[in-house]
Chains A and B, each alone.
Chain A
Amino acid sequence: MEPAAVDIVDLHFSYPDGTPALCGVNLRVQAGESVAVIGPNGAGKSTLLLHLNGILRGQGQVCIFGVRVQDGTLREIRRRVGVVFQDPDDQLFLTSVAQDVAFGPSNMRLSEEEIARRVHESLAAVDMQAFGDRAAHHLSFGQKKRVATATVLSMQPDLLVLDEPSANLDPRARRQLVRILRGLPVTKIIVTHDLPYAYEICERAVILSGGRVAADGPIDDILGDGELLDSHDLELPYGFAVAGARS
């Protein structure tokens, strides 16, 4: 049987000041799924995300495609788990877009030809192939977000994790990113509190609240349950109806 893309068992984590962030999280995501992890501010969503590639290490067990996250496996884990952070400015730290996209493959010790091929393919996947020689700080926020996604795609991850992908995007850039993300044939975990955005990309939703998984199921059921959302300080935008909202 193929191992699960993500298998988290009884994960606990507290920050150095003692504040508990994760209090026994259990989560299993199968390969090929697109899962939204939703929850109010401070629910532990970003903390959970940083456990998926071993940046943070709590008590409990985290396995990615059957490989346990631990000291000896970090390089393999980080190759397989691509994380796109909320602020693209901190992911684009070199002086040209192509150099940024090449950063991960260079760390993976690939050949010059292979790196060039991946840079080209990744930029094409996010419709940014014409911007390779541009400096990232000259791009619009939406373009930066797409390039940040390309910097991760160039590592050909098996699991793509996105932290608040829709934050600060204008409607057009939002739409472009949805189209790109839906077209990517990898397992996706989207951490967000933008419920309509999650609904457009994912078929399953997990509510994280108070450091625990409070609900897990088909996204139609979760977002269709107003009482459940309300009890975890979540709310759909005014006028948004779950049925028929998916384009």
Chain B
Amino acid sequence: MKTILVVDDSRSLRQMVAFCLTSAGYQVSEAADGVEALEITQGQQFDLILTDQNMPRMDGLAFIESLRTQTAYQKIPILMLTTESSDEMKAKGRAAKATGWLVKPFDPEKLIAVVKKVIS
């Protein structure tokens, strides 16, 4: 079973995403911010990471940058779930070596379709 880590500071959003992905047959772990996500990724390998940008302690970009320095996560797809989708943010996402982005809000079907595109 493919494993996905969902990183978002909003509990409701995190659970919604986790619920949708679980229903679609993925195994999902959750983290509330970048720091927690880094801790989790130390001990477990995921097939996909979905992360929010605006979070306390460590934001999404910093998390992605840090994660990409780990050998195990250099080629793992990372999608940013973001409301900030300006060209500036896109450039930053690219620089941090994110794989792609998904604009919030999204509906469950779209989320699953995008996830399926990345890990089938």
A and B: interacting chains: no
Footprint of A on B, CB under 8 Å?
none
Footprint of B on A, CB under 8 Å?
none
